[in-house]
Amino acid sequence: MARMKTRDMPLLLRWAPSVLIMGAIFFFSSLPASQIPTFGEWDILFKKAGHATGYALLGLAYYFALPPRLSSGFRWILAFFMAILFALSDEFHQSFVQDRSSSIIDVGIDALGAAIALTIAAFYSSNSNSNSSM
């Protein structure tokens, strides 16, 4: 069976991971503080790592959902700004949740996670020796 290339995927299928990740982020941001587990002395580290990881995955999902005909650099920039916009909107949403607050520092952590993952993805996709084109 031939492997389907990203450019041959239906539009909805390419965007499905982005929508699922955005839904997961929205769900976790909707939880009141009383329903969020704590990790003792590691609490802040785990939660900030969760922010970075979630937005790394979201940035990658955006990057691979964007049209492959766009240059790798343009897809990087567009995916990065899309991730930041979602992070800003999510922090705004979180400000309405019981005992939760919004933080521009969290947006910065989200942006850092997205930037690191996107840099790796752009490097890989532009230097890949495989026959698949993304």
Do the domain assignments include residue 27?
Answer: no
- Return the pLDDT at 132: 46
What's the average pLDDT block by block, 10 residues per block, for the chain (134 residues)?
Answer: 60 93 96 91 94 97 92 94 98 94 96 97 67 47
Report yes or no: 13 and 64 within 8 Å, Cβ to Cβ: no
Angle at which helices 72-94 and 11-30 pack, to 10 degrees? Answer: 30
Do the domain assignments include residue 113?
Answer: yes
- Return the pLDDT at 134: 45
Overall number of domains in the chain: 1
Do the domain assignments include residue 78?
Answer: yes
- Return the pLDDT at 81: 98
Which residues form the domain of 94?
42-127
- Return the pLDDT at 106: 96
- Please state, in angstroms and rounded to a whole number, the distance separating the CA atoms of residues 2 and 104: 45
